[in-house]
Amino acid sequence: MVEKDTCEIYCYDEPKVRRIQESLQLENIQAMTQMIKALADETRMKIAYALCQDDELCVCDVANIIGSSQATASHHLRALKGLGLARYRKEGKLAFYSLDDDHVRQLVQMVSSHSKELSVNGK
């Protein structure tokens, strides 16, 4: 017999629901969603992961790491920068990118760690 994964009766904890609904209104859920969407792209996640491995990489480095053209790498790096996940600096004719801060690094590392746990557990 298949176990039903929904409530069999409708009831809820009104104070808990109200408290959480109020906290949702204080958060910028749209900005959070955009950040997660940016990392949901496989190429951008590869770039973010690569930037976790080194403090900064130039666009040429990134292009070679992900096996793309400089234009493609630059496009994805600009998207990460635009969402506040990466930053860049110019040195002569080279553009160097890094993760914006440790929060982004921690997010990527947590996803990587959890992904490894799932694969070990066969999920």
The set of residues, in sequence order, having a beta carbon less than 8 Å from that of 45 and lying 6+ positions away, is 39, 108, 111
The CA-based angle 56-59-63, given to 5 degrees, is 115
pLDDT of residue 2: 79
Residue 104 in this model has a pLDDT that exceeds 90: yes
Percent of the chain scoring above 90 in pLDDT: 80
- Taken in order of first residue, the domains within the chain and their CATH numbers are 41-120 (1.10.10.10)
Q: Could you report the per-residue pLDDT of 18-36, keeping only the tens digit for each? A: 999 999 998 889 989 999 9
